Amino acid sequence: MLDVVLGLQWGDEGKGKVVDVLTPRYSVIARFQGGPNAGHSLHFDDKSFVLHTIPSGIFREEAVNVIGGGVVMDPVIFMKEVKGLQEAGIDVVSRVKIAKKTHLILPTHRALDAQSEAAKGKDKIGSTLKGIGPTYMDKTGRNGLRVGDILAPDFLTRYEKLRTKHLGILGNFEFDFSSYEKEWLAAIDELRAFDIVECEYVVNDYIKNGKKILAEGAQGSLLDVDFGSYPFVTSSSTVCAGACTGLGVSPKTIGEVYGIFKAYCTRVGSGPFPTELFDETGEKLCTVGREFGSTTGRRRRCGWLDMVALNYSVMINGVTELIMMKADVMNDFEEIKVCTGYIINGVETNELPFESGADITPVYKTFKGWNCDINDIRQYDKFPVEFKEYVEFIEASTGVPIKIVSVGSDREQTILR
């Protein structure tokens, strides 16, 4: 059986923490899409880690961590991550398997990303500039290089060929990647020490042998290339279906779909965000919630919970269990608002519009805040009634139970229902 855990908003929902909490139930943790644009934070035993490419099961001795073929990997960033973990005493090499079909992010992909964003000017996506878009373009354009290719004797020739092609596209766009290229080639050599596998066979064997697998999504459903607020999206399938194509498993193998959402919303980069707050409340969510990117350090845009968007994500993913994060950030809010509908051209709707530029006025339902510290609560019964009302409203609106509530960044600050 394979369960999927994914973000239902615009990323940064707290996936790292949730996967870390869920891993004891699983023997295999697999990333299925995205790349170093992700930043999954974990906090335990007074230590903090941010993972970009490596699955969040890496801290559990018994777990196997698979990087699936739907992922794009920058070997430099990956090896930095590996070394950081090794310094913390973790035997990364024995715990990680990399799919041969994982696409490689080249130094020139990073340059192409920068060129594309520069050309868009004020319409830029707000990309993390890790080369994600150009790498997925080369994948679907059938030009990409994959991790399995590094084992071939002519890998360098193939690298040179793609590099030359990229340099042609870059023209006179200035981007110095010579030192990065040196590191990149060195990292490619180090990558050979890893178990580079036929991921689809490995994962299906695990399933056949009764191993429990957790597929860990990156980004969020509203950044999905098909269903997100296009073009302000990332370039991969961040939704549940991506677990099938990213790992090579049948939809029939999928069991639970855990959907993670924050009790409010954040978005980093450009694109529509109907409930965004530009006032003191937005400021408060940002400072109390420490809403700064773990990959780029950028300040995240903040706003109220959006049920139109959340219900859409629940629908696309077939979410079976919800996980609510960071409600504690709103501990001293007199009032909490939730968007229950959009008014577009004078008409109220519960559906996300096709146009990314649609003029949306959110319709809000106001809740009384719980106005107390909930960070030390460890039992659902002990939560204040206002908090439970908030939780139960979301359950009624989505039709999905909230099974886990997180009230702080530490592993321990987790309430299972």
Using the rule CB under 6 A, is 218 a contact of ligand IMO? yes
Residue type, 377: I
Q: Which two tokens stand for residue 40?
A: 């999954």
Interacting partner of 268 out of Mg ion, ligand IMO, none (Cβ under 5 to 8 A depending on kind): ligand IMO
Euclidean distance between CA atoms 191 and 105, whole angstroms: 13
Q: Quickly list DSSP for 145-193.
A: -BGGGGGSTTHHHHHHHHHHHHHHHHTT-----HHHHHHHHHHHHHHTT
Residue nearest ligand IMO, Cβ-based: 269
* 12 flagged as catalytic: yes
C-alpha closest to that of 22 among 216, 261, 294, 264: 216
Give how many residues touch ligand IMO by CB under 6 A: 22
Query: Interhelix angle for 178-191 vs 75-87, to 10°?
Result: 60
* 74 flagged as catalytic: no
C-alpha closest to that of 394 among 281, 221, 262: 262
Using the rule CB under 6 A, is 313 a contact of ligand IMO? no
Q: Ramachandran region of residue 38, left (φ > 0), alpha (ψ -120 to 50) or beta?
A: beta
Q: Any idea which residue has 């845009």 for tokens?
A: 301
**144 vs 148 by CB, closer to ligand IMO:** 144
**39 vs 69 by CB, closer to Mg ion:** 39
Number of other residues whose CB lies within 10 A of the CB of residue 374: 19
Interacting partner of 126 out of Mg ion, ligand IMO, none (Cβ under 5 to 8 A depending on kind): ligand IMO
Near ligand IMO in 35-94, by CB under 6 A = 37-40
Query: Interhelix angle for 155-170 vs 107-120, to 10°?
Result: 20
Contact code string over 24-63 relative to Mg ion, x by CB under 5 A: ---------------x------------------------
Using the rule CB under 5 A, is 12 a contact of Mg ion? yes
Using the rule CB under 6 A, is 243 a contact of ligand IMO? no
Please state the closest distance from residue 132 (CB atom) to ligand IMO, in A: 4
Interacting partner of 398 out of ligand IMO, Mg ion, none (Cβ under 5 to 8 A depending on kind): none
Q: Among 31-39, 57-65, 282-290, 321-329, which window interacts with ligand IMO (CB under 6 A)?
A: 31-39
C-beta of residue 308 within 8 angstroms of C-beta of residue 261: no
**125 vs 241 by CB, closer to ligand IMO:** 125
Please state the closest distance from residue 253 (CB atom) to ligand IMO, in A: 23
Among residues 242, 269, 362, 408, the one that binds ligand IMO under rule CB under 6 A:
269
Positions marked active-site: 12, 40
